[in-house]
Structures are given as structure tokens and as C-alpha cells.
Chains A and B, each alone.
Chain A
């Protein structure tokens, strides 16, 4: 049996800001951009990994949420405790420099972790945490 990770989801609060971050700063390609009224789903992914994508999704679109739950998710996103993803790069320092120069929200400079990983971290415009580790 052959199973791959096809796409996973990160919430956004501002489609344009998130699109600019993933496309212009991380260098992801935009594979789909679906609009439905005010709602906007954007599928992005690394050019060298065409079979795996992240879908940037509007939180408000999830059916079956109560107003309280919607508010709580918006608060958790804003305070930075809701969603995260781990990425990897062979050239961590160049990627870090590019993101920092693009005014991305730095959470941690590249450091050698005591458990044998070198990584850095950022927030995307929606407050999602991105850890990026060095491939070596």
C-alpha cells in the first residue's frame, strides 16, 4: 500500500498577507487559489515537492463551529498557540536571512539544539509557528 502526505491545512486571517509570505518569502509555488465569496483557499507548496501541499484556509469557513469556538480559534491564532508546521532546508542560513530581510516575524535565530538538530523559527502572518530545520 502506498500512502503519501498530499496536503495539510494552516489557517489564515488575511489571504493576501499569507500568500505573499509563502510565495514571495518562502518561495512556494501557488497551485490553486479558490475564492468563494469572501472566503479564500490557497494551495501552496515547494517547487521541488510537487506532491505535497499546504492549503491556507479561512477559519471562518469550517462548518459546525459555534460563535464561541470561532472566537476562541481567532484568539489562539492571534496569541500564537493554534497551528504550526515543521519545514526543512539544506541552506538554513540563507533562508533565515531572506525571511528576516523580508520582515518576517522571527521567533528564533538558527541554533544548534542540544538534541542534534539545527533550526530556527518564524511566525507566518496569521501567527502560525514555522520551525525550519537544517537538512544535513
Chain B
């Protein structure tokens, strides 16, 4: 791989790691202030929304709803298992 491609690949992975921290923060703080989240990744709101969708296949709002649904589902499932024991 030529040097400029290597640098681009490294930069891409670095940006994905930034997006991971933002996504974790959505889970941790249950927050969806796009300006704040974008700022923490050093991006504009527009950049952030685009890059997040590229990385995770959905908007931060859709991600938050899906993550909450998974948490609710997990709670329900585990409760049912406990109740039937």
C-alpha cells in the first residue's frame, strides 16, 4: 500500500474510534445534543451526522432508540427467565 493510502486508512480508523466514544457517550449520558456530541469528536454537526450514519448505518437518534429497545428487551427477557425459574 502506498504511503498516502496508509495515512488515509490510519486517519479513517482514528475517526471511527472518535465516533465510538461519541456513541458510548450517547449510551452513557442518554444524551442527544448533536452540537455537544459533534464538538466532542472535533466535528461540525453536519459532519458528525454524516460520519455517524456512514459508520453505524443509522442516525444517532435511530441508534439511541434501537439501543433502548435492546436494553428494554434484555430486561424483559431476563425477568421472564427469572420468573419461570
Q: Give chain A's interface residues, CB within 8 Å of chain B.
A: 71, 74-75, 78-80, 105-109, 113-116, 123, 127
The A-contacting residues of B in range 19-70, CB under 8 angstroms, are 19-21, 23-24, 27-28, 55-56
Chain A residues whose CB sits within 8 angstroms of the CB of B75 once the complex forms = 113-115
Q: Give chain B's interface residues, CB within 8 Å of chain A.
A: 9, 12-14, 16-17, 19-21, 23-24, 27-28, 55-56, 74-75, 78-79, 82
Chain A residues whose CB sits within 8 angstroms of the CB of B16 once the complex forms = 75, 78-79
> Are A105 and B56 in contact (CB-based, < 8 A)?
no
A78 to B23, CA, bound (A): 12
Main secondary structure of the interface of A (DSSP, over half): mixed
> Are B20 and A80 in contact (CB-based, < 8 A)?
yes
A106 to B27, CA, bound (A): 11
Q: What is the minimal beta-carbon distance from B52 to any residue of chain A, in angstroms? A: 10
Q: Please give me the residue from chain B that is nearest to A117 by CB atom.
A: B78
> Are B20 and A78 in contact (CB-based, < 8 A)?
yes
